Amino acid sequence: MSTIGAAGVELGRPDMIVSDGVDKWYGDFQALKGVSATIAEREVVVVLGPSGSGKSTWIRCINRLEVHQGGSISVDGIELTNDTRNIDKIRSEVGMVFQQFNLFPHLTVMDNITLAPRWVRKQPKADAENRAMELLERVGIPEQAAKFPGQLSGGQQQRVAIARSLAMEPRVMLFDEPTSALDPEMISEVLDVMKDLARGGMTMMVVTHEMGFAREVADRIVFMESGEIVEVGTPEHFFTNPTEDRTKLFLSQIL
């Protein structure tokens, strides 16, 4: 059992995500073993760990793409339960970016971005499209609005995916290995957008293998292994002076 302390107390900001003793099984394999953490508003947390350590499962539980079986998760004071109203609220407050982009291939970039604002937020079409153009400019590809995802490069697709999530004006953004499926030369364009977002004060949870990004942007780093949080700390603490042996081993393999 492991816990990150109440970040809100230290930072003087309210808590955004509270994960309390979250358990998750796949058949008889326990993927999450009582994961507890609290993430404050405007905090950027990078989750590191070897593959199969449960980090993706964890952030997918926060968006209820996976249903946790023990413990509790709440986002912005709303607990994730079977209550449809809470699920809808949390989904519209939490944006998610996937490893495989998961853009809708049959819709144009513009339609990809405006779909949810129009049908979930019930925004008029013109407003949604104006907002979408702003977001596309922010991620640097306003000229691609009329194209289909299949006509874009991987980096561009991932930036569209980020814009698509931002269009719902979420209070939290979750990134599930956003650069793992990209060619090396495209990684930086996506990371730049994410850094920009972090500077803007977005609460972010990022699962990634990009150590440079973690060191530069993260407020805190969470290291997970076999379904447990092993160590938590600032980037400085984490990269220069880790306390746990398992963390040291991981860092020696990866750096």
Region from 16-24, 190-198, 209-217, 246-254 binding another protein, contact rule CB under 8 A: 16-24
| 95 in contact with another protein (CB under 8 A) | yes
Question: Using an 8 Å Cβ cutoff, are 110 and 129 in contact?
Answer: yes
Q: Which helix (H) or strand (E) holds 84?
A: helix 84-93
State the nearest-atom distance from the C-beta of 122 to another protein, in Å. 5
User: Looking at residue 151, what DSSP letter applies?
Assistant: G
Residue 49 contacts residue 229 (beta carbons within 8 Å)? no
Give the span between the Cα atoms of 105 and 32, in whole angstroms: 33
Measured from the CB atom, is 49 or 149 closer to another protein?
149
Q: Which is nearer to another protein, 74 or 208 (CB)?
A: 74
DSSP state of 149: G
Residue 10 interacts with another protein (CB under 8 A)? no
**Interaction between residue 20 and another protein (CB under 8 A):** yes
Residue closest to 177 by CA, chosen among 80, 92, 76, 50: 50
Using CB under 8 A, which of 42, 92, 153, 211 touches another protein? 92
184-199 and 154-166 helices, crossing angle to 10°:
20
Interaction with another protein in 207-236: which residues (CB under 8 A)?
Answer: none
* CB-based contacts of 17, cutoff 8 Å, min separation 6: 37, 38, 39, 62, 73, 74, 75, 172, 203, 205
| Phi, psi (rounded to 5 degrees) for 148 | -95, 150
Build a one-symbol-per-residue string for 120-149: x at contacts with another protein by CB under 8 A, - elsewhere.
x-xxx----------------------xx-
**Rounded to a whole number, what is the distance in angstroms from the first to the last CA of the chain?**
27
Please pick, from the candidates 96, 110, 197, 198, the single residue that binds another protein as defined by CB under 8 A.
96
Q: Which stretch binds another protein (CB under 8 A): 65-73, 132-140, 211-219, 240-248?
A: 65-73
Query: Which residues lie near another protein (CB under 8 A)?
Result: 1, 3, 5-6, 8-9, 14-15, 18, 20-21, 23, 25, 27-30, 34, 36, 38, 63-65, 67, 69-70, 72, 74, 76-79, 81-88, 91-92, 94-96, 98, 100, 102-106, 115-116, 118-120, 122-124, 147-148, 150-151, 161, 164-165, 168
